[in-house]
Amino acid sequence: MILGIPNNGRLYEEGLLLTGRGPAQSEDDRSLIQDHGDFLVLHARSNDLPYLLSHGITDLILTGRDYVVEAGISAEELWDFGFQRCQICLLGLPGAEDWRERHPLRVATQYPGLSAAFLAQHRPDASLFTVTGAAELYARLGAVDVIIDAHMTGRTAKANGLVPLETILETSGRLFARPGWSKETKDISQVLTHLVEGRR
């Protein structure tokens, strides 16, 4: 049984604690696969985990729901741990509330797949730009009209003069399996019980 967890970022420490291994224990261990007896733990980037699951490399993954939706894969959600709960929102400067009518509409995001699906329903004529850094900067400088980004505490948005305009997706750290996992020979339920009981 292979469980994939993030190798960095906000869910990294939560993933280690769930598997019974604290961050201090992993500081000197740079192995990307660790043996936990009943299962193996594979460490990968959060946005890579959905692809590892869909290609059968892992049996389970712990990652944000936003990454699974962004990847566009089929996955069965088994448990919502509530880690790093936030929203994926459309944000802009005050006055951008007219984004539905604004022509042209320029949008920056680190979530191109998720954003394209949202815009296809609401503004199929919008221009979508994929960025790798802080999307807030592009809106603040007027390079785009709005952004689609994670909105948790709201501090970064507020510091850059942005306001949430629409919530697109509720997300948090969750456990996913491939569709039809219950018909496979591996007993995922044992690992699920271990992880859930470890959370309580």
Residue 66 region, left (φ>0) first, then alpha (ψ -120 to 50), else beta? alpha
Domain with CATH 3.40.190.10 in the chain: 2-85+172-199, 86-169
Distances (CA, A) of 9 to 84, 101, 154: 11, 37, 18
Q: What is the pLDDT along the chain (200 residues), one digit of tens a residue?
A: 889 999 988 788 888 888 776 554 455 556 677 776 778 899 999 999 999 999 999 999 999 999 999 999 999 999 999 999 999 999 999 999 999 999 999 999 999 999 999 999 999 999 999 999 899 999 999 999 999 999 999 999 999 999 999 999 999 999 999 888 776 666 677 777 777 765 55
Please tell me the predicted confidence (pLDDT) of residue 161.
96
Fold observed for domain 86-169: D-Maltodextrin-Binding Protein; domain 2 (3.40.190)
Pairwise CA distance, residues 196 & 90, whole Å: 33
Tokens of 20: 């019974």
Beta-strand runs (E) in the chain: 2-6, 33-35, 40-44, 60-64, 76-92, 106-109, 127-130, 146-151, 163-177
Fold observed for domain 2-85+172-199: D-Maltodextrin-Binding Protein; domain 2 (3.40.190)
